[in-house]
Every structure is written in C-alpha cells, then in structure tokens.
Amino acid sequence: MKNMNYSVAAALTSVLFWSTNALAAKYGLAALNVSELLTIQFSAAAITFLFLYILRHRDLRIFSGLPPLKQILIGLVGLVGTIILQYIAFGIGNILEANVIAYSWPLIVAVWAAVVLRNRIGLAGIGLALIGFYGVVMIMAAKGTLNFLEQGINPGGAVAFASALCMAFYTVASSNIRMTEKLLIPVTLIGAGSCFIFACFQNGGWPEINDWGIAAYIGVGPMAIGYFLWSYAMSGDGAKIIAPIGYATPLLSTVLLLVSGEDYTQRTMYGILLILSCSLGVLFLQHIHSKS
C-alpha cells in the first residue's frame, strides 16, 4: 500500500505539471517566439533526462547501445512532432482552442480501435469520436460557420489537430516499446537542434537569458519530470489502477487557461465541452477494455 501511495502521488504530480503546460506556453510566448521557446524547452528536457539517466544507472555511456532507429523515429513523431505542432498552434491561434483540439487524440485512437477491435467497446468509442470530432469542427471553423469552402479553416486549430494526429500515432505505434531516458535523450536533442536551426534562420539574435525561465520550466517540469514520474506511477499494477488520474489533464489545463483570462465564445465553449467529454469517455472505455 505504501508503494501504491507513492505511485498515486507521482501520478498526481505528473498531471499537475502537464496541466500547466499550456498556461506556461501562454506566458512563455509573450517573451519568446515559438522556435526559441522550443529550443530552450527541448534542451532543458534533454539535460533533465540525461541527469535522471545518470542518477538512476550510474552510467556515463549515454550513447552506447542506442535504441533501434524505428523506436527513435516513433519518439520523434510522438514527442517532437506532437510538441512542435502544438506550440506552433499556440503561437498562431487561440491557445485555449489549440490546447483542447490537441487533446482530441483519444478520438483518433478510438477510430483506429474500432477498426481493429470490432466489438461493442469499439462501436461505442467510434460513436463518441464522431460527436467529439463535431466539437473539433466547431472550433476549427473560422468566423463561426461550418462552411469551410466560404470562410476557411482556423489555422491554429488545424495545426493543433495535426499535433493530435502525431500523438495518436505515437499511442498506437509505441504500444510495444517503452520510452526510457535512453531513448528520450537523443529524441529531445534532435528536437532542440532542429528548433535551434530554425530559430537562427528566423531572427538574428536571442532574447535575454532572463526570458528563458518559463521555457526551461516547461522542458524540466511538464516534459521531463512529468513523464518520469508518470512512468514510475505506471510501473507494476499502477497502469491498471492509477491510469484514470491522467484523464484530468485536459480538464485542468482548460480550467487554468480560463482562469487566466483567455477569451472564448459560446460556440467555442460548446466545442470544448464536446471534445473533453467525448475524449474522457473514450479513455474510460479503453481503460475498461484493458482491465477485461
């Protein structure tokens, strides 16, 4: 029971870290552009994963016996692709809308699961997914209309949905691999290097180091420590017992953004409610299926 209490505490801490991601991005993007923020974020995450690896394994041979290229590519799409697209969406659109759409990935996974499982859980999941996708369309539709041909698509929402696609791919593709620090170190370093190159082409100088704090926090907290603690919480029996705690992340992150004063319309709020409720429903169905 004592170990389980530690696991619950670790899971709750992870959710709290993850829930601050969008709020921290809101304030970080006020001082940095997207490529600068991502460079610092990925760098901070890589350093933290490196520290955690050395602390756990007492081994400095970080790059000996690297994971297979296939796993690194899955990590690049799942972690780097998801986060880069998410932050681009934060930068070019409404962060409240982009954050919720990025959390629509369970709806995409539900469609995949329905094709594979072909059972009642799958059918229920695809029903929820269709309702949730209507919420995505409500938010993505520019100027309050569902007629995309006349009014166009909200670009921030479209990029956020691409981020959700990356996360859905990672969820399915990584079912048989474990994202250890050994794998996450090269993945985050590649992410940092890619964003740094883009940042150099984007402008001639970097902001003062005093403006780096929030970006570093996102890399150390939500990205690195959040993932590390969640992995600890999910070890052993934790995955079956504690996993539903993670369902609170999109709800808490949305509440924090609303409390911070983010603007929203009635139509946007309807879309948010549809996405969150259906995504949570899909995750709950998947949890039931995993226990059966």
Amino acid at site 126 = I
How much is the pLDDT for 240? 60
Backbone angles phi, psi at 69, to 5 degrees: -55, -35
Nearest to 185 by CA among 75, 26, 99: 75
Give dist(CA 215, CA 81) in Å, integer. Answer: 17
How much is the pLDDT for 149? 47
Per-block mean pLDDT, blocks of 10 residues, the chain (292 long):
72 93 95 94 95 80 75 90 95 92 90 78 84 88 55 82 92 74 88 92 78 95 90 67 79 92 86 90 77 63
| CA torsion, ordered 226, 89, 272, 152, to nearest 10 deg | -160
How much is the pLDDT for 231? 80
How much is the pLDDT for 4? 66
What residues are paired with 153 via a beta bridge?
141
Q: HEC profile for the chain?
A: CHHHHHHHHHHHHHHHHHHCHHHHHHHHCCCCCHHHHHHHHHHHHHHHHHHHHHHHHCCCCCCCCCCCHHHHHHHHHHHHHHHHHHHHHHHHCCHHHHHHHHCCHHHHHHHHHHHHHCCHHHHHHHHHHHHHHHHHHHHHEHHHCCCHHHHCECHHHHHHHHHHHHHHHHHHHCCCCCCCHHHHHHHHHHHHHHHHHHHHHHCCCCCCHHHCHHHHHHHHHHHHHHHHHHHHHHCCCHHHHCHHHHHHHHHHHHHHHHHCCCCCCHHHHHHHHHHHHHHHHHHHHHHHHHHC
Asked whether 276 and 251 are in contact (CB, 8 A), the reply is yes
How much is the pLDDT for 1? 46
Confidence (pTM): 0.88
Residue with tokens 């991502």: 38
In order of 102, 118, 141, 142, 286, the CA distances from 149 in angstroms are: 23, 34, 10, 10, 36
Amino acid at site 3 = N
79-92 as b/e: b if 16+ CB within 10 A: bbbbbbbbbbbbbb
Give dist(CA 279, CA 106) in Å, integer. Answer: 6
Asked whether 156 and 97 are in contact (CB, 8 A), the reply is yes
How much is the pLDDT for 151? 57
How much is the pLDDT for 291? 65
Supply 210's token pair: 């005093």
Asked whether 224 and 44 are in contact (CB, 8 A), the reply is yes
